[in-house]
């Protein structure tokens, strides 16, 4: 696959396309991650051939040898981004180049081969063009794209795999948090950590999620929606949720978000909100914020808002925080004014309802 020119994807249409009326039914209330489209993108990698056989093909099960190394040593990374329906009917992506770069940063950390950015981008564009009828028409709806890559060499020795599969699947989604609750509740885990210095916290790998599930279960047991992790060394500094970054808003109008020191996933939503906040003249500091300070500031009223952010959940207000030491609430337990302003600013750019001063939106269909 030559570099430079736009890569071409062979098209193998599915023989089992979902009929338009059935698709319409599935799009009414799709939830998150259960409704899938007819096709997927697929590219193979081997040490001899490099990336080859790029295609858009029917979404179907992948046959795997039981000795495929991902099943044993978890060499796997992924991305998540959305295609939005444009007011005039087309489809657009939000900062897909940032996902392409982060995918390769994750690949390097996991000793996997780089995927040329153009190949990553074209796989997504080609799939969105094929599947644009699957983008829901409603307010929170989008086509969630899930690029991922895993080790497919049939070998039980411990070493980086010599073969990989890269795929993109697409899922029609609505709001991530169902029920339309005005805010989410967080559980502060003291038992578990997500990422340690030198580890894989900044890589978007499945393994990070595997280790977070027990802490999420602890949160659920304690009646909370989501878990928030503290740093692994001092068990004191707030890092992030299992799959979302976090922001704090103070009564002097300033904001804080934890810095990217290698243990936090560098969210594209986080980065975009930093830019939008600064555009609005808001002072945002990237600095450590401790759990004790969080409690003290919430109780004194110095902290007025807190929210979590990510592609899937967009901007989600945090209403209460619970730990073994007790519970505290934040503001009015619903979206505060700055949270709302930032959320609207972001969503309006993503959906084409506001100008795009930073060139973040790419129209693809
Ligand atoms: C993907 C992810 C995020 C959010 O990143 P976005 O690019 O904003 O979607 C935050 N934390 C973790 C652990 C993630 O995997």
> Per-residue pLDDT tens for 59-104?
999 999 999 999 999 999 999 999 999 999 899 999 999 999 999 9
Quick check: do 10-173 and 184-350 share a fold? no
What's the pLDDT score for residue 179?
A: 59
DSSP E strands in the chain: the ranges are 10-11, 35-36, 39-46, 50-58, 76-78, 81-85, 91-94, 142-151, 163-173, 184-188, 226-230, 238-241, 245-250, 255-257, 284-286, 303-310, 314-323, 326-329, 361-363
**Best residue among 147, 240, 242, 267 to mutate for probing ligand 1, ranked by most atoms within 8 Å of CB:** 267
CA angle in degrees (0–180, nearest 5) for 303-309-315? 80
What does the CA dihedral 352, 356, 359, 365 come to, rounded to 10 degrees? 20
**Best residue among 110, 193, 239, 245 to mutate for probing ligand 1, ranked by most atoms within 8 Å of CB:** 245
Averaged pLDDT score across all residues of the chain: 96
CATH 3.20.10.10 correct for 184-350: yes
What's the pLDDT score for residue 78?
A: 98
Count of beta carbons in the 10 Å neighbourhood of residue 155: 17
Quick check: 1 pLDDT over 90?
no
Q: Where along the chain do its domains lie?
A: 10-173, 184-350
How many residues make up the chain in this entry?
Answer: 365
Quote the pTM value. 0.97
Band of pLDDT at residue 116, cut at 50, 70 and 90: very high
CA–CA distance from 1 to each of 5, 89, 116 (Å)?
Answer: 9, 33, 10
What's the pLDDT score for residue 309?
A: 97
**50 Cα–ligand 1 center, Å:** 29
Taking residues 130-143, what's their average pLDDT?
Answer: 94
Q: Ligand 1 within 6 A of 239 CB?
A: no
Fold of 10-173: D-amino Acid Aminotransferase; Chain A, domain 1 (3.30.470)
What's the pLDDT score for residue 177?
A: 75
What's the pLDDT score for residue 2?
A: 46
Quick check: 348 pLDDT over 50?
yes
**77 Cα–ligand 1 center, Å:** 12
The more confident residue out of 118 and 1 is: 118
HSE on the CB side for 302, CA within 13 Å?
Answer: 8
300-332 pLDDT tens trace = 999 999 999 999 989 999 999 999 999 999 999
What's the pLDDT score for residue 65?
A: 98
Q: Ligand 1 within 6 A of 145 CB?
A: no
CA angle in degrees (0–180, nearest 5) for 343-229-77? 80
Rounded to whole angstroms, the Cα distance separating 189 from 198 reads: 21
């Amino acid at each position: 696959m030559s570099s430079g020119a736009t890569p071409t994807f062979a098209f193998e249409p599915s023989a089992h396309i979902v009929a338009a009326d059935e698709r319409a039914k599935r799009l009414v209330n799709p939830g998150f991650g259960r409704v899938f489209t007819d096709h997927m993108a697929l590219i193979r990698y081997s040490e001899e051939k490099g990336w080859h056989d790029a295609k858009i093909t029917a979404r179907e099960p992948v046959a795997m040898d039981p000795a495929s190394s991902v099943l044993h040593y978890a060499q796997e990374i992924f991305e998540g981004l959305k295609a939005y329906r444009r007011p005039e009917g087309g489809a657009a992506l939000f900062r897909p180049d940032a996902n392409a770069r982060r995918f390769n940063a994750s690949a390097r950390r996991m000793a996997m081969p780089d995927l040329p950015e153009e190949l990553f981008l074209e796989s997504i564009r080609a799939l969105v063009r094929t599947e644009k009828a699957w983008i829901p028409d409603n307010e929170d709806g989008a086509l969630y794209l899930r690029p991922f890559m895993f080790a497919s060499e049939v070998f039980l020795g411990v070493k980086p795999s010599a073969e990989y599969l890269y795929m993109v699947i697409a899922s029609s989604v609505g709001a991530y948090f169902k029920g339309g609750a005005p805010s989410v509740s967080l559980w502060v885990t003291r038992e578990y950590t997500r990422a340690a210095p030198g580890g894989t916290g900044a890589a978007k790998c499945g393994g990070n999620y595997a280790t977070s599930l027990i802490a999420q279960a602890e949160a659920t047991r304690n009646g909370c929606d989501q878990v928030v992790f503290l740093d692994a060394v001092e068990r004191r500094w707030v890092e992030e949720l299992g799959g979302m970054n976090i922001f704090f808003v103070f009564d002097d109008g300033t904001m804080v978000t934890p810095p990217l020191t290698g243990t936090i996933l560098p969210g594209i939503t986080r980065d975009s909100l930093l830019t939008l906040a600064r555009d609005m003249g808001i002072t945002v500091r990237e600095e450590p914020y401790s759990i004790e300070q969080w409690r003290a500031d919430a109780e004194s009223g110095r902290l007025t808002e807190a929210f979590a952010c990510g592609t899937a959940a967009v901007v989600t207000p945090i209403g209460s925080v619970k730990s073994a030491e007790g519970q505290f609430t934040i503001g009015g337990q619903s979206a505060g004014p700055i949270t709302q302003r930032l959320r609207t600013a972001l969503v309006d750019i993503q959906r084409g309802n506001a100008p795009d001063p930073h060139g973040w939106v790419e129209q693809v269909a």
